[in-house]
A and B are shown apart, each in its own frame.
Chain A
Amino acid sequence: MIAPPRARGGWPRLAAAVLLPAVNLALALALSAVVVVLIGESPWRALRLLVAGAFGGGEAVGYTLYYATSFIFTGLAVAVAFHAGLFNIGAEGQAYLGGLGVTLLCLAAGSWPAAVVLPAAVLMAAAFGAAWAFVPAWLQARRGSHIVITTIMFNFIAAAVMTHLVVNVLIKPGQQSPETREFDPHTWLPQLHEIARGLGLAMPASPVNCSLLVALAAGGLVWLYLWHTRWGYAVRVLGHNETAAVYGGIPPARTVIVVMCISGGLAGLLSLNEVMGVQHRLILNFPGGAGYVGIAVALMGRNHPVGIVLAAVLFGALYQGGSELSFDMPRLTRDMVVVIQGLIILVCGALEHALRRPVEALVSLGGARRSAA
């Protein structure tokens, strides 16, 4: 279905890997500028406000990294599935269910020590996310139903189930707003500025928390898994050529199910950031579209953990800068970021061949000149 990026040797590949996303981003932003003009605002001023909102000062950077944390998780989730040739659009629902796992744990963890709660929360979030991905994976592997459609349907079903659970079951008794009670403070993930204060350092307050470290660790583990284990090799062979995988003794059905469960587990970890790190309670629709952002992040990061972390920071900046922007330009709502996100998926994903060849030709031309000189 999805051909993972082909490996080509030498420095032109590296240069293309840096240049191509930059060209993609520029093109997507140029198209977005057309929309800003249609609304009657200045795109140049909008861009300056956006960058200032995302990186102007420690608090802004903190918020950018807080959004980026969520996008690293969902970006890794989408990328892992991509490597097996699967398009997991269900990260949104898997993250939502991961939040249920974390919530059940935090509500139950009356007097457990914090050192037990955090690993347990990682396991619960991943287990619930993986369980939600398991059903579409099983249906794809054993019954041949299209995973794109089943994962989309599972997003809708997740929304319905979670609304039911929050509104009718888990809601704090005697309260109107649909949310659970606040968790006990010892189950909260420490925010980075609190840790910095503990170490005697000054850091502006922002919601970025320890789950950022979990996200970076997850990125490292995904890299090890995909490129340095037999299982990851099986995943990549399956993604490149199913016939070759079968010939090489790789069971496609089992590999699809395992890789989708890993993907769902990664998506589920998003709830560490949102539920345990920031909200400290379960609220409705907390993933807020991060599952779909993961698609753009994975494509822009070329399905590699390093690229995904960088792309996630970019999208974190777009989200944070976009909210600041909508204060200064009330006519531009935050949905503008969704437009940019869609355009980036179009430019990086669907139109990748249209841009890759010219960019690679340009780079190799430059390389030829340099070696001639």
Chain B
Amino acid sequence: MNDLLLVPALIAAATVRVAAPLVLAALGGLFAERSGVVDIGLEGKMLAGAFAAAATAAVTGSAWLGLGAAIAAAVLLGLVHGFACITHHGNQVVSGMALNITVSGLTAVLGYAWFKEGGQTPLLGSDARFGPIALPGAASLAGVPVLGPVYKEVVSGHNLLVYLAAVAVPAVAWLVYRTRFGLRLRAVGESPGAVDTAGISVARTRYTALVAGGVLCGLAGAYLSIAHHASFIRDMSAGKGYLALAALIFGQWRPLPTLGACLLFAFADAIQARLQGTPLPVVGVVPVQLIQAVPYVLTVLLLAGFVGRAVAPRAIGVPYVKER
């Protein structure tokens, strides 16, 4: 095998695998934030989805039921967020953090009590997971130079949810920019008063956005526990929800640039996994612990506005109070 090509192909494949949950969660956050609701609870929704998926799949043996449970759990959290922030005009960041902390404790408590494996869920068999899908032609193209290995490693052989994430980007872009719902969504995030005047319910639009976001976060969570891994591990979201939120901000709340930001974070992650133990020019071998911080440092650097300030939806974070 051509080594010169294989290493970049493997890094690209790893990038795709890491990016998938980030893309799903970031697009979920896009709905909420475009409607004017800050969604720092992406982390918690993902973690809840991951736990619900793994627990359900472990009990029923069905990956699809697991996926359904993940979506239900994440949507439920979205509704709680909506109840606090939309119905009761609560602080959106505080509500999101409250959900993140509650879920982090709850998944550990329930996992420990129900499965007795120190907070993990049982290892899932292949039926209870979404396995890799070999796209048609992967085997026959394998002999073709350049194209063969790239197609086999990078495009083919991922699980269903990775392809779903890829489809979600144009789908969300279409929904947000080309449908009546999308127009209302964006309008509610910019100027809820105007939307209200036009006779459209601000609260209802925002709730719809949170439910749509919950569905995508559920997919992201299910990806972690029943597609990428084969069980739920405590705190397995490990900041991915926050990275997704950062990618959304860095992508200026637009689907395609957000995809780009997710791929950038995922690439940084794939590179850091490769760099562990490899001597670098000038600095030598960088300790593993420091390399693991690369995606987080990158997030801070990007958000520091090296590529221009982000312009948020105008009404973001402001509860809408109808005039009395």
Contact = CB atoms under 8 A, between A and B. Distances in A.
Interface in A143-177: 143-146, 148-150, 152-154, 156-157, 160-161, 163-164, 167-168
Nearest to A341: B101
Interface in A321-364: 331-333, 335-343, 345-346, 349-354
A353 B289 contact: no
Given A143-B305, A148-B40, A349-B90, A337 B105 contact: yes
Contacts of A150: 300, 303
B298 to A, nearest CB: 9
A336 B249 CA distance: 33
A139 interface: yes
Contact of B84 (A156, A164, A346): A346
Contacts of B305: 143-145
Contacts of B259: none
B31 interface: no
Interface in B80-126: 80, 84-85, 87-95, 97-106, 108-110, 112-114, 119
B105 A341 contact: yes
B299 interface: yes
Interface string A172-201: 000000000000000000000000000000
B110 A39 contact: yes
A154 B300 contact: yes
Contacts, number: 162
A38 B106 CA distance: 11
Interface string A115-128: 00000000000000
B289 A168 contact: yes
Given A87-B94, A350-B85, A351-B84, A345 B101 contact: yes
Interface residues of B, number: 49
A153 B243 CA distance: 9
A100 B49 CA distance: 36
Given A157-B296, A337-B105, A350-B85, A87 B290 contact: no
Given A145-B303, A148-B93, A333-B108, A339 B88 contact: no
A295 interface: yes
Contact of B93 (A1, A337, A339): A1
B313 interface: no
Contacts of B94: 2, 87, 295, 299, 345, 349-350
Interface string B278-314: 0000000001011011001101100111000100000
B32 interface: no
A160 B94 CA distance: 26
